[in-house]
Amino acid sequence: MGNSYTQHYNELLESLEKKSLRRKLKVSESASAPLMTIDGRSMLTFCSNDYLGLANHPQIADAIATGAQRYGSGSGASHMISGHNQAHDELEKALAQTQSSFIPNIKALFFGTGYMANMAAITALSSISDGSNAMGSMSIFSEELNHASLIDGIRLASKQNHAKIHIYPHQNMDALRKMLAEDSNPFKLIVTDGVFSMDGDIAHVNQLLELAEEFNTLLMIDDAHGFGVLGDGGLGILNMFGVSASDTRASRIIYMGTLGKAAGLSGAFVAGDAGLIEWVMQKGRAYIYTTASPPLIAQGLLKSLELMRDPHHRLNLEKNIAHWHTHLKLKKWHLMPSQTAIQPIVIGSNADALKVAQHLDQRNIWVPAIRPPTVPEGTARLRVTLSATHTADQIDQLIQALHEIEDAF
Ligand SMILES: Cc1ncc(COP(=O)(O)O)c(C=O)c1O
């Protein structure tokens, strides 16, 4: 049965399988939490980005139910047509408010996902001409370990708007400075993850801002893993680095935060100077040509923003990270130097990383093995994520299992 195409793709799938690169879906039968029912089994999980434990919060569920009663289930159209609801509008104002102490003249734009937000913002900002005259193209300076959604946005910007791409080595500010100095283009954009999603380390925001000022660039920071977690009240990476709206350099920042991780729901926002954000709205095809996410999500997110301010979630998370660092003693494998909720353990080969994840799975512990192309070849790893809702006892179970598996490996 089948044809030459089905045969071709089946062969490709077999090749993935042989390289230990074929991903398998697990079916969860319960809400996101440290203990979940997965494919019928009760499992202890260390894999979600629900850092504050809000993904199953009853008050958010209630707010969503109120949103559904008030506005129905779907938005009906894209934002630019009839899909922009007052709940979206209220949410955008509240999101802008979270960053208003750090960025002057701020406006925020809400998106259905972070992937779309990054695609829209980068393609729009690299669109530097209104078509009436030739302006050349944008030079984009992209961090080596940027998230796939930033990379895809940059690739599309190159295709659509002829943006020139420079990739600078991870956290290497000297290399970035050299690249910036060698490029005489007057239109430049630096793009970076705030917290690196597969490594857990944090971008050097102050140095990036200095370089942005010195070389007259825009600076886009994807704070997917920092919003809700870093800074006072979880306000994010700009607050953590003491960026202030009264500092004129801050008008160069385009801040991106996601709402499906610490905020516990879904969506994302891009915030920055009102003119820049208005341009993203006018030119971001991933904003314009898609149905607005249901207003009930915006209603739920307004409640998330309120709950995120409660410091006890972050205190629990910090306590859990400290507990993990104190008790985990690896001999062969390498715990990456991260102070955030993302605590990767580098194993090395794809097959070994998969084997360790399978040993954990046999003990009903779920930690995902992350392999290329998500991470560089030879650095396959376990991506352990900690949450405010893990107990010390649950973390000890993982640590003991890792010690035993490593000893026998
Ligand atoms: C750094 C980073 N940016 C963007 C995204 C995309 O966000 P979303 O899941 O909302 O599409 C993710 C995670 O998925 C991420 O880790």
Atom 15 of ligand 1, nearest CA residue: 224
pLDDT of residue 67: 98
Tens of pLDDT along 359-401? 999 999 999 999 998 899 999 999 999 999 999 999 999 999 9
Question: Of all atoms in ligand 1, which is nearest to the CA of residue 196?
Answer: 1
pLDDT of residue 129: 87
CATH number of 58-308: 3.40.640.10
Q: Is the CB of 115 under 6 A from ligand 1?
A: yes
The alpha carbon of 342 and the centre of ligand 1 are apart by a number of angstroms equal to 14
The alpha carbon of 404 and the centre of ligand 1 are apart by a number of angstroms equal to 33
pLDDT along the chain (409 residues), means of 10: 93 94 91 95 97 98 98 98 98 98 98 98 94 83 97 97 97 98 97 96 98 98 98 97 96 98 98 98 97 98 97 97 97 94 96 96 96 92 97 98 96
pLDDT of residue 244: 98
Tens of pLDDT along 134-174? 778 999 999 999 999 999 999 999 999 999 999 999 999 99
pLDDT of residue 32: 95
Distance CA 96, CA 94 (A): 5
CATH number of 19-48+311-408: 3.90.1150.10
Task: Let me know if the fold of 19-48+311-408 is the same as that of 58-308.
Answer: no
pLDDT of residue 20: 84
Q: Is the CB of 211 under 6 A from ligand 1?
A: no
Mutate to test the pocket of ligand 1, among 258, 304, 342, 383 (most ligand atoms within 8 A of CB): 258
Atom 8 of ligand 1, nearest CA residue: 114
For tokens 């249901």, name the residue.
294
pLDDT of residue 135: 76
Q: Is the CB of 199 under 6 A from ligand 1?
A: no
How many CA atoms lie less than 13 Å away from 172 in the CB half-sphere?
15
Q: Is the CB of 192 under 6 A from ligand 1?
A: no
pLDDT of residue 136: 85
pTM score: 0.96
Domain ranges of the chain: 19-48+311-408, 58-308
* Intra-chain end-to-end CA distance of the chain, in Å: 43
